Amino acid sequence: MMDIQEKLKNYLLMELAADLGIESLSAEDDLLEQGIIDSMGIMNVIAFMEEQFEIAVEDQEIVPENFQTIKNMEKFIGQKQQA
């Protein structure tokens, strides 16, 4: 079974990074700094997260820190699933 990081990485590589010619990502890569995720990208990632991990992302949770790295997103999803 794929873990949260793997699912996020696959989604980001296929949906957002491919257009930039990026073929690999690490859990620590700064997705915002590299331009992989922008404001539109964040909305796409949120839709993916809500569907894949059965969580609801609140407006006040849409902050750069939660989407900066795959590791941050994994931590955020884990917290949401436990809540």
Q: How confident is the model at residue 2 (pLDDT cuts 50, 70, 90)?
A: confident
Determine the 3-state secondary structure of 52 from DSSP. helix
How many angstroms separate the CA atoms of 51 and 24, rounded?
24
CATH of the domain at 64: 1.10.1200.10
Residue 70 in contact with residue 8, Cβ under 8 Å? yes
Residue 75 in contact with residue 5, Cβ under 8 Å? no
How many angstroms separate the CA atoms of 6 and 82, rounded?
19
Q: How confident is the model at residue 75 (pLDDT cuts 50, 70, 90)?
A: very high
Q: Per the structure, how many domains does the chain have?
A: 1
pTM over 0.85: yes
Domain extent for 57: 4-82
pLDDT tens sequence across 11-63: 999 999 988 899 999 999 999 999 999 989 999 999 999 999 999 999 999 99
Token pair listed for 3: 């873990």
